Structure 1
Amino acid sequence: MSKKKPLSQGQLRRMRANQTKRLKRADTDKDSPDIQDHLLTPEQAGVVISRFGQHADIETQDGSITRCNIRRNITSLVTGDKVIVRLATEVQASSNIGGIVEAVHPRKSSLTRPDLYDGVKIIAANIDQILIVSSVLPSFTTQIIDRYLVACEDTDIAPVIVLNKVDLLNDENRPEIEQALARYQAIGYQVYQVSSHTGEGINELISLLNNKVSIFAGQSGVGKSSLINALMPEAELIVGDVSDNSGLGQHTTTTAKLLHFASGGDLIDSPGVREFALWHLPAQRVGWCFIEFREFLGTCKFRDCKHGDDPGCAIQQALKDGKITQDRFSNYQRIIASLDEQRHARHFRAAEE
């Protein structure tokens, strides 16, 4: 009889993590038992405002928010989900639980991010648009914008590019930034220029957000929280200052939460969109997510064309013909080059743990 192969450190770590999760779930179930049916009101519609472990804050149609248990057969529930809920006739004093989420409606969109251990993880649902926030300070870069655009195209959620801190534009940085924004507009993307400090462009942004569920994405320091405060002062989000030494900001959001604009529309504020890793995407999918590449994909001389120095490459020819800009093509190459590095780092880290 052959010996069993010893478990790797990564397998042992995952076993311990799963056991800990089961124990926590058991403790939660014991502390917050399901409310008996005869104490529940009839079913009604609701939306997930925020998720906390085995509980969720649910807003019902009258505008009230109630913390609810989640039925055990519901395997996935995130901020923005439309649900069916039954409220209790009285809140459980010991746990502050006032209802049960019975079911989840199908999602019209899902915002996901790759997770080191859990694969692709859903972080928010039913989003209409993602506002990609960049700024003059920290230094403006199209590399980050293009990474976000790939993530948006992959999830089929409409992207909008927002340049914040336009009050910091000057004769030195203005030409390069405006040329870059014009390139995005030329291929069909919406671009807004705003300043949360002076209020420039805020009214136009309010109109864009009206009657839609939006999410803001961008690196730390670009002014997402300041922008949200300008759009909904009642939200009172914490604003992280930009470090004078590094030019980088501090992350301030810790839990995904759905907020309402007074003028109409909703915002999901989530820490899960600080940055989008793309290592889970195959190279072919990344190419498709560059929208101006699409008409040329599949027309290269060789089916396995890498769009580098390959002979008969339709993408390279489109670049020479001016149908694809050098900046966008260079960012595409950088993303492709980073995929293997990110996957290698992920597997190495998992093996070490």
Structure 2
Amino acid sequence: MSQLHTGRVVSSTGNHCVVADEAGTLQRCQLRHRQGARPVCGDRVDWHADDGTAYIEQIHPRRNVIERGDFRGRPRALAANIDRLILVVAPAPTPDLLLVDRYRVLAGAADIPLMIWINKTDRAEGAGSEPLQRLTDQQTELGLPMLRGSAETGAGIEALKTWIHAETVILVGQSGVGKTSLTQHLIPALALRTGEISEASGQGRHTTTDTRLFPRPEGGCLIDSPGVRTLRLDHLSVRDVAAGFPDITEKAHACRFRDCHHLEEPQCAVQSAIKQGQIDPQRLMNWRRLITETGGADSNQAQP
């Protein structure tokens, strides 16, 4: 066998993937039919060339992997070896608190740190300011790190770059919050690199793939994954959901009944915390919704 090379998968589709070496040189690699797991964006792999064709020989152990459920609820890997998930929110469109909690659960299940970037701070006044304040109050209480700025004016961008220096990150969030503009700040040569990846894949300059990895000039990488934006959690467990709601599960230990649904039961510690302003009632609504989606009919299934 010829010499083995090590690289990182920058895109993967069909029966091949594109791998970048440490210098950023791209190589189109075929997949071996005998391989079990398929390489995904962010994977580190070994490959070798044989008669002019490069083949993936081994996928290195993953530190973590982001998965989403398919239409049958089966997990499908999208990206691997991620250092941070950045949730982008803005005053408009109005922050979706349920979506925020979905990403909390997803990040927790994959053991990936989550942070919030509050974009469009130059437009912070107006109809979206109250829901945004509710969101920031919630997540500050839960200890989630946040940064603020504007992808349009450039405010706060350098602080964000410093925070995520040398990390592999993914941007997620609602449509219209400014992820594309933020990506352009983080990857100035985005269009050029996209064309290079498309050419290396052999599918043309204008072909796009679901998930791609781009190196950042300051170090680290950004993974662009539209698949993470259409978020389903039905491949996760009830306990995964519960872990994303530590404020509720902690209080639930003090409920009088082990199978408390946190509705109108006597001596419900969760309802008591809501009345005292310790838990946002929206959090409990979201918890019930996600527990149901992951197959938990009763709240006691989410108890640790």
Same fold (TM over 0.5): yes
Q: Tell whether 2:126 aligns with 1:126.
A: no
Is contact 1:134-1:163 (8 Å) kept? yes
Kept in 2: contact 1:253–1:271 (CA 8 A):
no
User: AA paired with 1:256?
Assistant: T
Kindly provide the amino acid, as one letter, of the partner of residue 78 in structure 1: V
Alpha-carbon displacement from aligned partner over 1:218-246 (angstroms, at most 9, x marks no partner)? 12222211110122221139xxxxxxxxx
Q: Secondary structure at the match of 1:154?
A: helix
* 2:100 alignment counterpart: 145
What is the CA-CA distance between 1:274 and the residue it aligns to? 1.1
1:43 corresponds to which residue? 4
Per-residue CA shift, 1:126-154, capped at 9, x if unaligned?
Answer: 01111111222222232221222122122
For residues 237 and 188 of structure 2, what CA distance do their matches in structure 1 show? 41
Distance 2:252 2:113 in 1: 22
- Corresponding residue number in structure 1 for 2:247: 292
Q: How far apart, in 1, do the equivalents of 2:208 and 2:111 lie?
A: 25
Aligned partner of 1:87 in structure 2 is: 49
Deviations 1:180-218 (A, max 9, x none): 313311221011222111111111111122111101111
CA distance in 2, matches of 1:340, 1:110: 22
Structure 1 residue 323 displacement after superposition: 3.0
Q: Which has the higher contact order (CA 8 A, sep 6+)?
A: 2
Is the Cα–Cα contact under 8 Å of residues 165 and 219 in structure 2 kept in the other structure? yes
1:179 CA displacement: 4.2
- Asked if 1 retains the 8 angstrom alpha-carbon contact of 2:248 and 2:284, the reply is no
Taking structure 1 as reference, are residues 310 and 120 closer, same or farther at Cα in structure 2, changes over 3 Å only?
farther
Output the CA distance in 1 between the equivalents of 2:213 and 2:288.
36
Given candidates 168, 188, 198, the residue that maps to 1:233 is 188
Alignment of 1:1-353 (within 5 A): 37=1, 40=2, 42-76=3-37, 77-88=39-50, 91=52, 98-117=53-72, 119-170=74-125, 172-236=127-191, 254-336=209-291
SS at 1:233 equivalent: coil
- Report the alpha carbon displacement of residue 163 of structure 1 after superposing the two structures with TM: 1.7
Q: Give the 3 Å change call, closer, same or farther, for CA 301–128 of structure 1 in structure 2.
A: same
**Superposed displacement of residue 254, structure 1:** 4.1
Matched residues, number: 281
Give the SS at the match of 2:18. strand
Whole-angstrom CA distance in 1 between matches of 2:23 and 2:103: 36
- Could you list the per-position Cα deviations for residues 55-85 of structure 1 after superposition, in whole angstroms to 9, with x for gaps in the alignment? 1111122321100112223222100011111
Q: Secondary structure at the match of 1:296?
A: helix
C-alpha distance in 2 between matches for 1:280 and 1:316: 29
Question: Does the 8 A contact of 1:74 with 1:104 survive in 2?
Answer: no
Matched residue SS, 2:108: helix
- Structure 2: how far apart are the matches of 1:312 and 1:277? 34
RMSD between aligned residues: 2.5
Q: Secondary structure at the match of 2:182?
A: helix
Which entry has the higher C-alpha Rg, 1 or 2?
Answer: 1
Do the aligned residues in 2 keep the contact of 1:209 with 1:266 (CA within 8 Å)?
no
Q: CA shift at 1:101, angstroms? A: 0.9
Query: If the length of structure 1 is used for normalisation, what is the TM-score?
Result: 0.72
Distance 1:118 1:337, change over 3 A: closer
Q: Is the 8 A contact 2:88 2:171 kept in 1?
A: yes
User: Are the equivalent residues in 2 in contact too, given 1:114–1:277 (CA < 8 A)?
Assistant: yes
Q: Is there any run of 5+ residues in structure 1 with no aligned partner, and where?
A: 1-36, 92-97, 238-251, 342-353
* Residues 1:166 and 1:286: Cα distance change in structure 2 (over 3 Å): same
* In structure 1, C-alpha distance between the alignment counterparts of 2:225 and 2:58, rounded to whole Å: 23
Shift of 1:266: 0.6
Identity, % of aligned pairs?
33
What is the rounded CA distance, in whole Å, between the counterparts of 2:17 and 2:110 in structure 1?
A: 24
Q: CA deviation at 1:110?
A: 0.6
Q: 1:13 is matched with which residue? A: none
> 2:301 maps to which residue?
none
Cα–Cα, structure 1 residues 221 and 334, in superposed 2: closer, same or farther, change >3 Å? same
Residue deviations 1:244-269 (CA, integer Å, cap 9, x gap) = xxxxxxxx974211101101111111
- Deviation of 1:107 after TM superposition, in Å, equals 0.6
